Structure 1
Amino acid sequence: MTEAANITQEEKRLAEARERQAHWRKWGPYLSDRQWGTVREDYSPDGSAWDYFTHEQSRSRAYRWGEDGIAGISDNHQRLCFALAFWNGEDGILKERLFGLTGNEGNHGEDVKEYYFYLDSTPTHSYMKCLYKYPHQAFPYDRLVAENGQRSRKEPEFELLDTGIFDDDRYFDIFVEYAKNSPDDILIQVSIINRGAEARKLHLLPTLWFRNTWSWNGIKDKPFVKVSHTETKFSVIEASHPTLGERWLYCQDSPKLLFTENETNNQLLFGVSNASRYVKDGINNYIVHNRKSAVNPDNIGTKVAAHYLLTVDAGETKVIHLRLSDSPNSSQPLGDEFEVIFKTRQQEADEFYQRIAPKSLSEDERNVQRQAFAGMLWSKQFYHYVVEEWLNGDRATPPPPEERKRSRNCEWFHLYNDDILSMPDKWEYPWFAAWDLAFHTIPLAMVDPDFAKKQLDLLTREWYMHPNGQIPAYEWKFSDVNPPVHAWAAWRVYQIEEKMYGRADKRFLERVFQKLLLNFTWWVNRKDVEGKNVFQGGFLGLDNIGVFDRSAELPTGGHIEQSDGTSWMGMYCLNMLAIAIELAKTNSAYEDIASKFFEHFLYIADAMNHIGDPDGSLWDETDGFYYDVLHLPDDKNLKLKIRSMVGLIPLFAVETLEPETLNKLPGFKKRLEWFINNRPDLKENVACMETPGIGARRLLAIVYRSKLKCILKRLLDETEFFGDYGIRALSKYHAQNPYIFNANGCEFRVDYEPAESSSNLFGGNSNWRGPVWFPVNYLITEALHKFYSYLGDDFKIECPTGSGQEMTLREVAIALSRNVVNIFLKDSCGNRPVYGKIDKLQTDPNWRDAILFYEYFHGDNGTGLGASHQTGWTGLVAELIQQCGEDRSRNIASS
């Protein structure tokens, strides 16, 4: 990827953006898929965000902090927004936004009840494509709510396909594509295909509007949209904003233009007078209820829709062209040039991804990888949240309830978010999550390392990071603690950019490293209760994996000394050590800080394996596994013997030190050798760090030979963790042997649950009690590769356990990667495990090659579960496909 002669047009655009020659990322898919039901829009006294601002209200109530829409775009500060709305003539409301259940309505938490697919995008969004499937019949809003409300936690969710609304192909496929002619000149193509057997009418309403920024603080310089002029072949809408400037939307065939204001319908919702005669739901009322007075006859406002009434015959495709531009002077904005630009951008997108993907990938692998990248890039969102203003209220509106000042996030008054961020899922999780985002940066770095670096940089900036050094976790509670994976992500992004693009951005590495020193210190000061180098941290992103809610007060009193918390900190030390060593190559001052992290790691590794008396050790010699330890108020210790991901995370703390690197760092090497010679007590408790005959390569790891073999025996056991589609979060052992704990007359238990959880902890929409999760599977494969780099071909392990088939750790890592990747690939019968028994998704040619990237996956059969569009960390599949392809290429070359 580093040859200048082969640079693609998309890479040239990325270079122009990096060098600030052209702002190619100014416009992108930055609308949320759901703004209602979020913490930002919640001004209730009790913090019930899902109930305070509902889907029912969203069409009539102006948002304060952001906007949502279907297949939409906005500028990078979300001043001007564009999205698609539809009406099939049957629905009770205009389809302006995606529908789903809140956490209180769903039997497994919040869940979007629509079918849409992100099919393609380049990093600069010079070309984008998505697909929305819209039924001919009335959308079954009430039935979806009622049926899911009746179902228990042990039953599956009732999905839109289950209603039969797509039977006999009675729906429209609506493809939305964007192509940039320049950073501020965006061509839009909407293709509507009637998949049914009869002609159907469709109201198509491309909508342009300004985010309401004037109602909250009394801003007088209000933006507007108005008719610019109308010609036979097209009409033109002018949009003017005090800071964005002027834009023009060209609409093919001169449709009727419907103008209103992006203002709350207070009369409808609250029984008080409206600020404007024309309100947010005016276009809905005009189309659905035929209220002609609901739109402004003067053709001006802050929201406008171009109304196309289309009759689409069976199997027919209707295409509409639009263009959002900074130029008012084009005489043929939708002429022959339009088609040429689109074809050119599509071709350039193909060239960019062909350059990235290994030649050995199959067409199916290429399809899955490209859609994974598309999902990552479409899941960018403008995220705006100024906590101080949210707590205190706006000047022009009534003050929030007094409870607000003592409520959620009140200690994060410094936090000021006004950025484009990578979201886990723009419908179910339309807010950043710190540890999710760290994993997002891995596939993002493959296509846009500058954006990936920006994400990591932002979370460590002073308007995000707390003054005490804590990184904000996620919107529902910034003070929760996520695993400290940002140093790992920064190091990996640095390595990926160097490998794929030949650029070593040490300035980025150093900037992030300096801020992470503060975060590391916060961990040491706040999460090591007794100063023993054993860490807590609460649920640490693993939600319901334990017998207790680890973030809440324990029914027994005391605290939990966490195997995963301590291991994450061991990994954090080694990541910081690797970064410090890299920086020390050009600045010897970093040798001292490298020594600090080397020493700290040794103390953590020692504590991990030898805490106090035998019952207090996190390692269990009899079981050959790591467990959490419950430290009771009377100083007694009790191992919580749950075989879970908690006991596998110690594998992640591993790093090798090459002899040539050590020789370049005499100060660090001297300190390292002093520890080896003078602290044999610590050396014995970590991996052997020096092996004759291989140039004194050093291995730092919490887990080494004997313990490694014990853990891998369980990891690769098909009756425990090793599944056909990846490593389960909980051992299948607990299917027949549930872990039961009794306290204060109550029974607490953990069972193996390969699909959705029966527990309502953390909203009930996340399950670590058996399913396969991509982030930890990815880290396991990475750890195995690192162990292999030290142990080599001589160290082999049975895989699967009991099979008699021995593999090197590299072979095990590749096998595991392939298992996880196979979730999405067609099997020998042409089915994708991710879609389970959903026949429409498995066999229908208009569905089967469009990929949904779920939050997690059934531990036994690979079916997708949880958030259906969480490309987020599941987007790691793009990098795993890359690894499998590169391994295949190596094998071909060697043979």
Structure 2
Amino acid sequence: MPRKKAPAQPSTNPERDRLTEARERTNNWKRWGPYLSERQWGTVREDYSEDGDAWRYFPHDHARSRTYRWGEDGLLGFTDRECRLCFSLALWNEQDPFLKERLFGVDGHEGNHGEDVKELYYYLESTPTHSYVKSLYKYPQAAFPYQDLVDETARRGLDDPEYELLDTGVFNENRYFDVFAEYAKGGANDILIKITVANRGPETAKLHVLPTLWFRNTWIWGCDHEGCSMKPNISQSAGDQLIANHETLGDFQFCAEEAPEFLFTENVTNSQLLYDSPSYTPHTKDAFHRHIVNGEHGAVAKDKGTKAAAHYQLEIPAGEERVIRLRLSSSEKAPKTPFGKGFEDIFKQRIAETDTFYDNITHGNLCPDEYKVLRQCYAGLLQSKQFYHYSVADWLDGDPDSPPPPEARKSGRNSDWRHLFNRDVISMPDKWEYPWFAAWDLAFHMIPFDKIDPDFAKQQLILFLREWYMHPNGQIPAYEWNFSDVNPPVHAWAVWRVYKMTGERGKRDFDFLAQCFHKLLINFTWWVNRKDPEGRNLFAGGFLGLDNIGAFDRSQTLPGGAQLVQADGTAWMAFYCATMLSMALELADHDPSYEGVASKFFEHFVAIGEAINTLGGTGLWNETDGFYYDMLHTGDGQGIPMAIRSLVGLLPLCAVEILHGDTINKITGFKKRMQWFIKHNNIFEQRASCLEFEGGENTDPMVLLGLTSRERLERVLRYVFDENEFLSPYGIRSLSKAHEETPFVLNYGGETHTVAYEPGESRSYLFGGNSNWRGPIWFPINFLLIEALEKYHHYYGDDFKVELPTGSGNWVNLDTAAKELSRRMANLFLPDKNGDRPVNGDHAEQYRDEHFREHVLFYEYFHGDTGRGCGASHQTGWTGLVAKILEDACQQKK
């Protein structure tokens, strides 16, 4: 008799099971998610103007009435991974001049420090498959102060702080609604939605809530790459149900509890309003606004369209809340009772599974405040995924059924990127301020992503190396404003880190590493050919992501034929080289054909080290100051050190790698070549040697491959840990505080160039008003410095000590110093003894309120003295590195 199978045991981590099913493609758990952009207006891909001014061509005021070409945006939204069918909220407090359908902010022309979202919203929860998602929007009960925000911002100058929504007084007496949006998946194509509206004010207040479902307009342009030719449709099938039909997505049923009024229209432009030209149909994109706010009852369609909304009118007493339940399900598997007991059971189950998933990451080793920060950090990372669509060739040439773009476009922005075809879910820096990918940002995003969804991390890194992303010349696209701009070469580092973190040695994804390595070889060659024009191994890569940290725009041609040799550009290439060497050695352990490539990167690193340290005597090292500086080579042959103590001079510390003896001994061809090379090169005898060895000739050596000698490292670290220079209570500043009293001044080319310490917002319009590397704390470079300190400690051990802070008499090893930097950075988000989080800065009092105090924002950068959040308020991407910092703290507590 056959033995009976034992009953299947319930999984202890169902979310991990869903990730496995998604990877193995047995269940499409990632088909739906928070992939809807938060700002499609004001983007390059929607700009068809002659002058390339994206902000003015498609302003916020047009967004409610004008159809987008390449994507959609919405409030607390959800969509499928191709952004065909979208869901989000529209709100109206009976005071605003129009429905609140999307997030408002000042544009790049209006902001006194550049573009800035003027809203309060928070990402609270998400699993990697988005089986559970929760977010919060705070909506004022008084008229939203649109004009006040614009007018006051215009009055403020570069020396003034940004004027934020909390500064307007509109939240006084807690007169606002908390609007929570929760999503739980009953299946891969079964989305349960719960909208909870809480009245935080002292009086009863009214609110219109319009859960809105619509199709992205793919049918009007005449394009052939959207995968469908038929116009979709949404129609009412029963009192509380809609049916949404789409050629490739299939049929979906949308149910709304309590049978509200359904409104219908078409997702097409109101040409009559915007251009005084007859509209394609009287039922346009802005019909719900016209119907509810303006009272134009003929604006909405009768019973079908491509956009529909359930209209709820709520009257909520003070301190109470109301719940709206909705469900979007594939028609094939739609439940017969969408809002029965099973609805709440699924929510409870998914919430419990979310807790289990994150508990298994931390194992209870974080304190409650740290754990809450970690959860919200991951929620921000996961909810910053966005469907991003941009076919550059179609954008340049225009669509068959649309007016042609200006002729100048064919030779203008991104015209040499015709091959680029983006149509993917991508991790964004910030879905409002940066609703487009940034190549070097994304590399940092994948470090914390690796812990929660390693498959997504690897897929994203591979994506940017694919032939429809990477330029045929080997360049990785930077960002949509200028794909040809030069971002720091950190992609290889991210690949290598993700590879090592995804498994124990011997159990890692070798195919992933090899696939990326081959394309990175092409990219590395592009860097060498394009950014080292004189072949001296000194690089001039442009602004390299550090924006206005220098005296002038380093991407532009300098007057008088001058050239700028960059310490950071050279260090980035050494960093790239060392990472490629480590990858090549790992590959050579499986395949000896990689040994020669490993030797190439070893010798190239040494050549870069020689150049930055000894070329022309001392290279870019300033022996008097004990620091690395850029060098300005003038047209008359002079060399002027750009004596600015900034991250430019700290980046050489990050170019460090350790080669272990057991690795070297296994790669025999590489070992022989390395020994021969060292024997026949006298540069290793110099004081600035970039190689150090531990162990004798007959032992397994450990090799430190770094740009700085031990003596120079000690000298630079004195600046790093000096509280009057780089060391802040919350991490390492991007510019020494010493430049507050003694700015760097250069008179050159008939102009005076000045660089002074600016701890918060920028006082320079170089690279835009919100770009500032002249003092604030940025997570990416801090993270690389922490990693470098850990490597130096691994090599030097406890014998290498630094005074922390400088002058304190407190001497610690480099591992302790790294942990101290990590602690300071994490403290940005943790409540102090008074319960205040430094990140909240000027609004600390508001965040003491019970409905604010647990919510954390992960800003783009942080005030160099106070830790106040600056720049983009939701740039959880690279600031999400705090999750990795907290995870490492977990490991140390085990």
Q: Sort the TM-score into its range (normalised by shorter chain).
A: over 0.9
Structure 1 residue 220: deviation in Å? 5.3
Query: Corresponding residue for 2:274?
Result: 269
Would the alpha carbon gap of residues 151 and 620 (structure 1) be closer, same or farther in structure 2, given more than 3 Å must change?
Answer: same
Query: Quick one: which of 638, 645, 648 aligns to 1:636?
Result: 638
Residue equivalent to 1:349? 354
- Per-residue CA deviations over 1:107-133 (Å, capped at 9, x if unaligned) read 000000000000010000000000000
Distance (Å, rounded) in 1 between the aligned partners of 2:617 and 2:707? 19
Preserved contact between residue 837 and residue 844 of structure 2 (Cα < 8 Å): no
How far 1:34 sits from its partner (Å)? 0.3
Letter in 2 for 1:689: E
Q: Tell me by how many angstroms 1:726 deviates.
A: 0.3
**1:7 positional shift:** 5.5
Structure 2: distance between partners of 1:516 and 1:687:
24
- The answer to whether the aligner puts 1:146 opposite 2:155 as a matched pair is no
Given that residues 602 and 683 in structure 1 are in contact (C-alpha distance below 8 angstroms), is that contact kept between their aligned partners in structure 2? no
Give the residue type in structure 2 aligned to 1:527.
K
Counterpart contact for 1:380–1:422, Cα < 8 Å: yes
**Map 1:326-475 → 2, pairs under 5 A:** 326-327=330-331, 329-475=334-480
- Given that 2:15 and 2:127 are in contact with CA atoms closer than 8 Å, whether structure 1 keeps it comes out as yes
Residue 550 in 1 paired to residue 554 in 2? yes
Change in Cα spacing, 1:744 to 1:633, as seen in structure 2 (3 Å) is: closer
Counterpart of 1:239?
A: 244
Structure 2 residue aligned with 1:675, among 677, 701, 704?
A: 677
- Residues of 1 paired with 2:377 and 2:679: CA distance? 49
1:330 Cα deviation (Å)? 2.3
Match of 2:695 in 1: 692
1:635 Cα offset (Å): 2.2
1:319 correspondence with 2:323: yes
1:538 to 508, 533, 542: 542
Range 835-844 or range 569-578, more displaced:
835-844
State whether structure 2 residue 113 is matched by structure 1 residue 108. yes
Does the Cα contact within 8 Å between 2:270 and 2:284 map onto a contact in 1? yes
**Is 1:808 the counterpart of 2:813 in the alignment?**
yes
Pair 1:125-2:130 in alignment? yes
Using a 3 Å threshold, how does the CA distance of structure 1 residues 502 and 207 change in structure 2: closer, same or farther? farther
Instruction: Please give the per-residue CA displacement for 1:54-98, whole angstroms capped at 9, x wherever unaligned.
Output: 000000000000000011011111010000110001000000000
Is residue 50 of structure 2 the alignment partner of residue 41 of structure 1? no
Q: Secondary structure at the match of 1:764?
A: coil
SS at match of 1:470: coil
Give the AA of the match of 1:175.
Answer: F
Q: In the alignment, which residue of structure 2 is the partner of 1:283? A: 288
Task: Check if 1:85 corresponds to 2:90.
Answer: yes
- Report the counterpart of residue 594 of structure 2 in structure 1: 590
1:840, 1:847 within 8 Å by CA — same for their partners in 2?
A: no
**Structure 1 residue runs of 4 or more that deviate by more than 6 Å after TM superposition:** none
Secondary structure of the 2:692 match is: coil
* Equivalent position SS for 2:549: coil
Does residue 581 of structure 2 align to residue 577 of structure 1?
Answer: yes
Q: State which of 624, 627, 642 in structure 1 corresponds to 2:626.
A: 624
Map 1:156-305 onto structure 2 (within 5 A).
156-217=161-222, 221-230=230-239, 235-297=240-302, 299-305=303-309
Kept in 2: contact 1:94–1:288 (CA 8 A): yes
Kept after mapping to 2: 8 A contact 1:121/1:374: yes
Residues 391, 410 of structure 1: 8 Å contact kept? yes
Counterpart pick for 2:781 among 765, 772, 776: 776
Deviation of 1:762 (Å): 1.0
Q: 2:595 is aligned with what amino acid? A: E
Show structure 1 runs of 5+ residues with no match. Answer: 890-895
Instruction: With the length of structure 1 as denominator, give the TM-score of the two structures.
Output: 0.97
* CA positional deviation for 1:747: 1.1
Whole-angstrom CA distance in 1 between matches of 2:58 and 2:691: 58
Q: 1:7 to 1:489 in 2, by over 3 A?
A: farther
DSSP-derived class of the 2:752 partner: strand
Distance 1:292 1:228 in 2: 22
Which residue in the other structure is 2:3 paired with? none
- 3-state DSSP of counterpart to 1:385: strand
Task: For 2:712 and 2:828, locate their aligned partners in 1 and report how far apart those are by CA, in whole Å.
Answer: 30
1:640 is matched by which residue type in structure 2? M
**Residue in 1 aligned with 2:4?**
none
Whether the 8 Å CA contact 1:358–1:882 is kept in 2: the answer is no
Q: Residue in 2 aligned with 1:568?
A: 572
Q: 1:651 aligns with which of 645, 650, 653?
A: 653
Q: Does the CA-based 8 Å contact 1:686-1:700 persist in structure 2? A: no
Is the 2:438–2:479 contact (alpha carbons within 8 Å) kept by the matching residues of 1?
yes
Matched, 1:739 2:744: yes
- Separation in 2, partners of 1:133, 1:651: 44
**Percent of pairs with identical residues:** 56
Pick one of 490, 506, 523 that aligns with 2:495.
Answer: 490
| 2:86 counterpart letter in structure 1 | C
Q: Residue 544 of structure 1: SS of its match in structure 2?
A: helix
Q: CA–CA distance in 1 between the matches of 2:751 and 2:487?
A: 29
Q: Matched residue of 1:186: which SS? A: strand
Out of 581-590 and 77-86, give the one that drifted further: 581-590
1:665 to 641, 664, 667: 667
Matched residue SS, 2:46? coil
Separation of aligned partners in 1, 2:718 and 2:454 = 37
Q: Indicate if the aligned counterparts of 1:602 and 1:682 stay in contact, CA closer than 8 A.
A: no
Q: Which amino acid aligns with 1:662?
A: I
Q: 2:101 aligns with which of 96, 102, 123?
A: 96
Q: Which amino acid aligns with 1:548?
A: F
1:791 Cα offset (Å): 0.4
1:683: how far off?
Answer: 6.0
Per-residue CA deviations over 1:583-609 (Å, capped at 9, x if unaligned) read 111111111111111111000010110
| Contact 1:414–1:466 (Cα < 8 Å) also in 2 | yes
The C-alpha deviation readout for 1:415-442, integer Å capped at 9, x for no partner, is 0000000000000000000100000000
* C-alpha distance 436-883 of structure 1, shift in aligned 2 (>3 A): same
Alignment check: 8 A CA contact 1:833 1:861 kept: yes
In the alignment, structure 2 segments of 5+ residues that lack a partner are 1-8
Q: Is residue 832 of structure 2 the alignment partner of residue 823 of structure 1?
A: no
1:840 deviates by 4.2
1:836 Cα deviation after fit: 1.2
Q: Is the 8 A contact 1:537 1:565 kept in 2?
A: yes
Superposed displacement of residue 704, structure 1: 2.3
**Greater shift after overlay, 158-167 or 220-229?**
220-229
TM-superposed deviation, 1:6: 8.0
Counterparts of 2:110 and 2:381, CA distance in 1: 28
Amino acid at match of 1:530: E
Q: CA deviation at 1:555?
A: 3.1
Question: Contact 2:34 / 2:78 at 8 angstroms: preserved in 1?
Answer: yes
What's the CA shift for 1:827?
Answer: 0.8
Q: Distance in 2 between matches of 1:764 and 1:259?
A: 42
Determine the structure 2 residue equivalent to 1:892.
none
The answer on whether the counterparts of 1:89 and 1:202 sit within 8 Å (CA) in structure 2 is yes
Cα displacement string for residues 831-888 of structure 1 (whole angstroms, at most 9, x for unaligned residues): 1000013134431111011010000000001000000011110000000111223224
2:233–2:245 contact (8 Å) kept in structure 1 = yes
TM-score by length of 2: 0.97
Residue of structure 2 aligned with 1:529, choices 529, 533, 541: 533
For residues 860 and 377 of structure 1, the distance between their equivalents in structure 2, rounded to whole angstroms, comes to: 30
Tell whether the 8 Å contact from 1:256 to 1:307 is kept in structure 2 after alignment: yes
Shift of 1:568: 0.3
